[in-house]
């Protein structure tokens, strides 16, 4: 990791969930997260502020489905990967949003308790 790159901190089951993606989608997610670590935007993303301020969703399209990585990179110490999942419908599911929101709150609370 370069000195100016942020580390990725996986929240909850996000890393294990990413490992469930098809190989090409995992590779693409890793490439996009590498861009985020370097301070760049992913190539295809969408803001997701209703999960938490600064939350973004990396969007990966594959013949096997649509895959998403929700993360927040606004904190100076790390990129927090909140939720990795395969989309089953056009809209993001309430369960996926709720999990990401809970993990976002956990990150904010943990950061608050350290300061």
Give the CATH number, domain containing residue 32.
Answer: 3.30.2310.20
Give this prediction's pTM.
0.93
Rounded CA-CA distance 102/46 in Å is 19
Containing domain of residue 14, as a range?
Answer: 7-114
Rounded CA-CA distance 67/92 in Å is 11
User: Does residue 89 sit within a domain?
Assistant: yes
User: Does residue 104 sit within a domain?
Assistant: yes
Provide the number of structural domains found in the chain: 1
User: Does residue 30 sit within a domain?
Assistant: yes
Whether the pLDDT of residue 2 is over 60: the answer is: no
User: Does residue 1 sit within a domain?
Assistant: no
pLDDT confidence of 4, banded at 50, 70, 90? confident
pLDDT digits (tens, 9 = 90+) for 78-112: 999 999 999 988 888 999 999 999 999 999 999 99
């Amino acid at each position: 990791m370069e000195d100016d790159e942020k580390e990725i901190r996986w929240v909850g089951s996000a890393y294990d969930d990413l490992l469930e993606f098809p190989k090409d989608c995992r590779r693409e997610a890793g490439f996009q997260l590498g861009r985020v670590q370097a301070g760049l935007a992913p190539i295809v993303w969408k803001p997701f502020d209703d999960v938490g301020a600064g939350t973004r969703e990396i969007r990966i399209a594959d013949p096997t489905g649509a895959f998403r990585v929700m993360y927040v990179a606004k904190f100076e110490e790390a990129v927090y990967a909140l939720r990795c999942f395969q989309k089953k419908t056009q809209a993001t599911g309430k369960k996926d949003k709720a999990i990401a929101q809970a993990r976002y709150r956990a990150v904010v609370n943990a950061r608050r308790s350290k300061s």
